[in-house]
Structure 1
């Protein structure tokens, strides 16, 4: 991958369109988690330091192409100004004349791009209009890079373009994990359903040395091999698909790691009575809710011998105790190896970030992506329009 960064651009005296992701949670008119806002601060401050005027473009919620006061970006202004330690000028209906009339060091936020139905259609007219507002385009929203929208892909092709600090950091981390990784490479893929991650599994078996499959997905693979999984969450109709993936992995020299022992219970509830058994001994009236200690020990051994780890999804029902044990233990092992410089670890996806935070392991991973869909599509090997437009 080749892309320009802020350091490659002359920003002095320029109006710099910056696509950011500040689609943050809000309650009672206040931002409740400013993490996404805090992560764009280096890009905005560096543009100002280089003599540029940042003009932020962003979406908020799903207004379906119509102005909606409940989804106005105005609500983010206090959190933005606190994070940036300066005032931010909010413009509802921008024009180049209005922007040029602002001080050279102004920081600007344009109203929700999705208030126009041309945004998600990637309408050339909207892209052309946005291009009139700036001299340079910077994309700092990897989380929106899998969408070919006017503010992510269309305008990037009309102006000199570069990746912002957060985007460049994300792309560099992903390149290290799957582009040109240090081997052996281990992937951990968990979650409820195989059906939602078919493309992901199909791509990974050709790129990694070990693929750990956990969560409800693992049950589908066990059942495909003739194991009775009792009342466990399982997509029995995908047995053939699971067997195809196992065959492809074998041909590619990728070891598929499924649970060697499992924790089962009769009810899905915190601290439910449970027992650990081998997969072949799951009682008919029980459900698999976590991987067992023997499985965790083997995963830990594989991680110890690995150079690179990419993680998406938990190994069990991590939301409730004690079925978070396998996820917590494996995550802590990965964090420990990363902290001492023995492992490059990259993780992403909503449940993944929550699970790693719960295990108190996220802080020691090499990189944690908050991008969700874009991270998943990148893992699936798909081209991301917002990234390719920067090339």
Structure 2
């Protein structure tokens, strides 16, 4: 795969797959992290007098849903590129939108409506990708967040372009996450949270003989606590993953990999901003209670391990962090990792998704070594898997 600065784009129509899947609240962008990360690619194209067509998805719409429109992104980009002609089309493959692209002038920016408004995107449709391809003479992919998906805009579309490349963001994500030093003399801590064991199974298995310690917090910890014999009340447990969790514990013991689980949790009988809270040892959770954050003893336990590491890979919050009552564990752990990075020369990697959102909400993104723009994509790359985009690229080389 060639990087953008190795191909000739001067004066050409450049169709760029970006990841503008950003949080939007009341019609306004709540976090522009992913957009900012793509600006180097866009500005390079502008510096080369290219005509830029941007395509992205937003959320998981079922058909055309107004709340998933990319109009707020268009309004945002108009402010950034106030001295450029920024155009929006409300249908990615209509004859009108294609005609707009064909008649662009150098330096113009054309933003297409949400790709997932057409079912052909997720289906990797030949006809949908063929119509999309008519927008550009050159194809660029800079959407790391969707690079693990076999969708029309990053798979089938490749066959229609002789000139194609990856953008600067995608290149940096691939290089950084694919070339981690996992040598045996490093003290590696894998810190996992979030809801489901199933979504983290690949990375756990990959690191089971590489990490010194795997710390498991968040809702996924209750599946592991259950197989250790604890009654976790109404806490989320993936019953279908109990055997896998048991296997992981056994493999960790064989490989002398420490697994740390919560020893106390913040409990409530409902997930609400008005919940009544109590912090309890894991052996004391009532039948009608759920564990919704890690407690003080657990924060101290996890922090001690993190401070003794040389590489921290973090994916998944420690609790229901989007509700302030249950965000303390995630915030405190983020502060410890920030301290380790800045004062102890520890490398810290945040694996995108909800974790990146939490770090950005706390305004700590600049304190970590690398904050990825991809959730599932970063997990797959960190798990040693071949990313779908790379497979598709080779198919249509």
Range into which the TM-score falls when normalised by the shorter chain: 0.7 to 0.9
Q: 2:278 aligns with which of 253, 265, 274?
A: 274
**Distance verdict in 2 for CA 1:58–1:351, change over 3 Å:** closer
Give, in angstroms, the shift of residue 96 of structure 1. 7.0
Q: 1:102 aligns with which of 81, 86, 104?
A: 104
Give, in angstroms, the shift of residue 244 of structure 1. 0.7
* Correspondence for 1:56: 54
Residues 1:120 and 2:122 are matched in the alignment: yes
**Distance verdict in 2 for CA 1:23–1:237, change over 3 Å:** closer
Residues 1:84 and 2:81 are matched in the alignment: yes
**Distance verdict in 2 for CA 1:185–1:4, change over 3 Å:** farther
Residues 1:257 and 2:286 are matched in the alignment: no
Aligned residues: 386
> Are 2:268 and 2:275, in contact at CA under 8 Å, matched by a contact in 1?
no
Aligned pairs for 1:322-341 (under 5 A) are: 323-340=326-343
**Distance verdict in 2 for CA 1:202–1:303, change over 3 Å:** same
**Distance verdict in 2 for CA 1:10–1:180, change over 3 Å:** farther
Give, in angstroms, the shift of residue 164 of structure 1. 1.3
CA deviation map 1:264-323 (0-9, x unaligned): 54645668453453x445566765444344433342232223222111112234455665
Residues 1:212 and 2:209 are matched in the alignment: no
Which structure 1 segments of 5+ residues have no match? none
> Which is further off, 192-201 or 139-148?
192-201
Residues 1:170 and 2:173 are matched in the alignment: yes
Distance in 1, Cα, partners of 2:227 & 2:315: 22
CA deviation map 1:141-191 (0-9, x unaligned): 112222212211122343332221222232233225588899322111112
Give, in angstroms, the shift of residue 256 of structure 1. 1.4
Q: TM-score, normalised by structure 1?
A: 0.83
Aligned pairs for 1:1-391 (under 5 A) are: 3-26=1-24, 31=29, 33-62=31-60, 64=62, 72-85=69-82, 86-91=84-89, 92=91, 93=94, 99-157=101-159, 158-177=161-180, 183-235=186-238, 238-259=241-262, 261-263=263-265, 265=267, 267-268=269-270, 272=276, 274-277=278-281, 279-280=282-283, 287-319=290-322, 323-340=326-343, 342-357=345-360, 359=362, 361-390=364-393
Give, in angstroms, the shift of residue 332 of structure 1. 0.8
Distance in 1, Cα, partners of 2:287 & 2:128: 58
Give, in angstroms, the shift of residue 335 of structure 1. 0.7
Give, in angstroms, the shift of residue 135 of structure 1. 2.9
> Which is further off, 196-205 or 173-182?
173-182
CA deviation map 1:326-378 (0-9, x unaligned): 33322211111212361221213443234334555444112223433333444
**Distance verdict in 2 for CA 1:70–1:185, change over 3 Å:** closer
Which structure 2 segments of 5+ residues have no match? none
**Distance verdict in 2 for CA 1:359–1:71, change over 3 Å:** closer
CA deviation map 1:224-244 (0-9, x unaligned): 122343554434564333211
Distance in 2, Cα, partners of 1:216 & 1:119: 32
Distance in 2, Cα, partners of 1:152 & 1:323: 37
**Distance verdict in 2 for CA 1:174–1:138, change over 3 Å:** same
Q: Equivalent residue of 1:336, what SS?
A: helix
CA deviation map 1:107-131 (0-9, x unaligned): 2223443344433222233334444
> Are 1:332 and 1:360, in contact at CA under 8 Å, matched by a contact in 2?
no
Q: Equivalent residue of 1:12, what SS?
A: coil
Distance in 2, Cα, partners of 1:160 & 1:46: 17
**Distance verdict in 2 for CA 1:173–1:78, change over 3 Å:** same
> Which is further off, 27-36 or 296-305?
27-36
Give, in angstroms, the shift of residue 37 of structure 1. 3.2
Distance in 2, Cα, partners of 1:356 & 1:97: 41
Q: TM-score, normalised by structure 2?
A: 0.81
Q: Equivalent residue of 2:40, what SS?
A: helix
Distance in 2, Cα, partners of 1:273 & 1:111: 43
